[in-house]
Every structure is written in structure tokens, then in C-alpha cells.
A = this chain, B = another copy of it.
């Protein structure tokens, strides 16, 4: 058997919950879990340099999007550049999604068949076809450390029969992805559990994927519009069917409460565009709740954004200045809020890890929610 790209160790399980602290040994360094992964859609985490992600945010892994890079600048070009790490000057780990979620989000612009998905580019309308094999080819060319199987993300709400067929196809596609992927010593391929909000389908999906033996598993198709209680119930039902000794990745989740609740249910990895998008819209996540920086309340507020934050922005700038930058549409405003929001979530996961190590995650959660003004 070939050497594997990913080695995962669970170092500690919280005594009172299912939360785990572990480490992923990957080709571009170790990643401590639970971890929040910033999203770098187009070969850049919006508004950030790699140095800022390392030194100011503290990221050991980021996510990038197969669909976007396939269309622009093209995976062949990235390969010619020496791979995505070299192209974007990032020497830590990269996880690429499979493009599935973006392609399915195109709605009328795509057509699904057993073979794969035909779609029109959102940039220029040109026609394309992505199959499971193609998704692997693209991700091999990009050279990400963790790749994702091409899956169909069923919408919410959706009929049982539709979700069942979709989930079964996703499993068949996962098998095809696995067969197409040969570079296992440098790139770890994760399976994606689907099944909508139907518990039996989630179980079946998890079991069939586990039978295929992937080095890690994602839970997809959650946080797609359903109420949080349903989401958490389905998640709680799903993770027990995943192997203890493999990392578990909940896709597209990024609010502080979702992160904590996910970890409590045994999740190790999360990603979301929320912190970077919120920043560009002029809002911040803080220990005392969301701050809409552009509000006039802050025009003469010469205090820091979040007194409990250790980031560059909170150490050097006032809310009044940040508000001025946002109101004046200055790039620096988006930059400073992005640094803060990303650092906030990465640091939250550091705090969560420390809490797990000391078996006090539930206390941590209660204190965090109280300060944050969140009731659950």
C-alpha cells in the first residue's frame, strides 16, 4: 500500500461531549483540529496575503474552489505554474472542494446525468462538462493537499425519493473519484456524506462511503436553508456512522454558534465565506456579538472593535476609523475587518481546542454564548 498524504490522530476527547481534539499530518504541515478554514475562492483569500493568513490569522489550512479555478485561470495554467501552492505563494495546506456545490448552485445553467454535469460558465456562458473523473483531474492539477469527491448537494427542502437517488449517485460518483485518483501519497481524497434531512439516507450514505475507505469524510448538504435544530439533529445522527480515527468536515459552516455546535457533535473541520464576506460588507464578528461597523453609532467611537481580540486590527484601530474606511469605500476597511473576522474564528477554534484538552467545552460554550448574547 502506498504512503498516504494524510495521517490523522485524535489526541483528546472531551469527557462530557463527543468533541475531539486532534492533528492532521499533511504534506504542507500539521493542522490541529478542530479547525476553521478560510475560503480562498479564486486562489486568494479575499483581501489577504499569505503572510497575513499565517502571521495575523494563524491559519494552517485554507480552502480553494475547483469550479472557479477550472474556469479562471484554468487548472492547466495553475499546473504549469507549479501547482496552486506555488501559483498563489501559499506554502501551508490547501483543501479544494470538488466544484459540485458551485455547479449545482447554477440552477437552470446546469444539467445532471449519471455521467456528470453539463453547465454554462457564470463568466462567459461557455459550455463545460464535469464528471467525477474530471473533478479529480482538475484537483490533481491544482495539487491540493485534501481533495473532495464530486457530489450532488440536494436542495432543501427536497422529496425523499429525489434525495435518495441523488445520494446513491453521489456514492457511485465517490467510487469513480476514488478509482480516478492515483496520487494518494500527496493528496488525500475525502468522501462526502449526503442524504438531505433524512436520517436513514444519511446513515446509508455514511456506511457506503466508509466501505469505500476514504482518509476523511465530509458532511455535505447541511446549512442549506434548514432550521438550525434540524441541521444539528441530522448532524448528530450522522457523525456516529463515521470512523472515529478519520477527520470529519462539516462543509460551509461559519457562524460562531454553528462552529461550536458542530464540534460538540464530533466535527473536526469547518469552512465558510461568512467572515470574509461580512468584512467586505462592513460587519464584524466579536465576542460581544455582531458589530455593524458602518452604523452611525460608531462614528465617534474611539474604542477598539473587540476588547477580547488579539488581532492586528483590534490592536491598532478604532471603530471610528474602521467606520470611516467602510463609509468611504476604502480597500483598507475590507482588509482590516477581514483580518479581524478570520482571526476571530481561527482563535475561537484555538480556544475550543484548549477547552477540549481540559474537558471544559460545555462551560466554554456557555460562557461564550452568554457574552455573545446568544441563547441556545
Contacts and interface: CB of A to CB of B under 8 A. Distances in A.
B331 A334 contact: yes
Contacts of A42: 324-325, 328, 330
A89 B302 contact: no
Given A80-B300, A331-B334, A44 B325 contact: yes
A223 interface: no
Contacts of A334: 331
Contacts of A94: none
A210 interface: no
Given A48-B332, A332-B49, A73 B299 contact: yes
A72 B317 contact: no
B335 A49 contact: yes
Interface string A302-325: 100000000000001110110111
29 contacts: A42-B325, A42-B330, A43-B324, A44-B325, A44-B330, A44-B332, A46-B331, A46-B332, A48-B332, A72-B324, A72-B327, A72-B328, A73-B320, A73-B323, A73-B324, A77-B300, A77-B320, A80-B300, A81-B302, A81-B318, A81-B321, A87-B318, A87-B320, A87-B321, A87-B324, A88-B321, A89-B316, A331-B331, A331-B335
Nearest to A72: B328
Given A43-B325, A77-B300, A87-B324, 17 more contacts: A42-B324, A42-B328, A46-B330, A46-B331, A46-B332, A48-B332, A72-B324, A72-B328, A77-B299, A80-B302, A81-B302, A81-B318, A81-B321, A87-B320, A89-B317, A331-B331, A335-B335
Interface residues of A, number: 34
Nearest to A45: B332
Contacts of A43: 321, 324-325
A117 interface: no
Interface of A is mostly: loop
A77 B320 CA distance: 9
Contacts of A87: 318, 320-321, 324
A47 interface: yes
Interface string A60-73: 00000000000011
- Among the interface residues A42, A44, A72, A299, which one has the most CB atoms of the partner chain B within 10 A? A44
A199 to B, nearest CB: 40
Contacts of A325: 42-44
Interface string A30-46: 00000000000011101
Contacts of A82: 302
Contacts of A332: 44, 46-49
Nearest to A44: B332
A239 B21 CA distance: 70
